[in-house]
Amino acid sequence: MRFPAVAFVVVLFGALVSCGSKDKDFKKHPSGLSYRFLEMNPEGKTPKTGDILVLSTKISNKDNVVVDESNFYRMQLRNPMFQGDFYTALALLQVGDSVCFKLDASGFFQKNRKRDLPKEFMQGDEVYINVRLKNILNAEDLESERENSYHTDFEQEMNLLKNYIELSNTTVKPTASGLYYIEKKKGNGKKAQVGNTLVVHYTGTTIDGKIFDSSLQRGTPLTFVLGKEQVIKGWDEGFQFMQAGGEGRLIIPSNLAYGKDGYSTLILPYSTLVFEVELLEVK
């Protein structure tokens, strides 16, 4: 769990004009998603899978209640996770385009962003996502901007974490170290203790919901000894709350993860990480 695959950066400021929710203005894509172009730039570059996209986004419900927005939101374009998902939508854009997408809210938040459905939505609702593709970065561009990224100190990280706690409707209190543990399913097996060997499945995301590592995607669970510094501090602490068969969410600030140095070019300095975890076995 020390070798995450991809890192993403988000800077939360600025705004977009709401794209509205008049169904008659939307066109239907063959994948099932609905879209409405607000601005088109036929001369703009088209992204390809693997590119890092710089976006402005505003996310709202059918009543135009904004639940999230960002002026400089960087994410990697991946192959679609399912038909008509957010990656499908982004592949339609060219640099300079501004589009409103209408997607299934559950699919977007729970599958693409790996977070619970916000309180502003119910199962079956649609989410309206106003997106402008501002730029496409290569690896050299991303590295040159790294020193000027949002995560420049612990105070900025804490401000972003505070926003995430509010947006994700997290009500549990952090531990003394700053770790959040949210129980999703109580286990009925052996309780994890320091020195036990644990077998776990996990999906790790940045707090903007982008996956950087997942044992589920690889199809192989991770095995480690609890409390022996084989994993980040947030894991050594967090799994002590769990029993075999349990599932939970760990929200781990950088002082319990990769700290002020980050990890190579993959995890930025002062990055809070979120893990959906399942404790399969305690040996």
Which of the residues are catalytic? 202, 212-213, 232, 258, 275
DSSP 224-267: EETTTTSS-HHHHHHGGG-BTT-EEEEEE-GGGTTTTT-BTTTB
Strands of 66-76's sheet, edge to edge? 9-11, 66-76, 52-60, 126-137, 98-104, 34-39, 27-28
Contact 240, 144 (CB under 8 A): no
Bridge-partner residues for 234, per DSSP?
Answer: none
The C-alpha atoms of residue 231 and residue 222 are separated, in whole angstroms, by 10
**Collapsed DSSP state (helix, strand, coil) of residue 164:** helix
Identify the CA nearest to 13 among candidates 71, 54, 73: 71
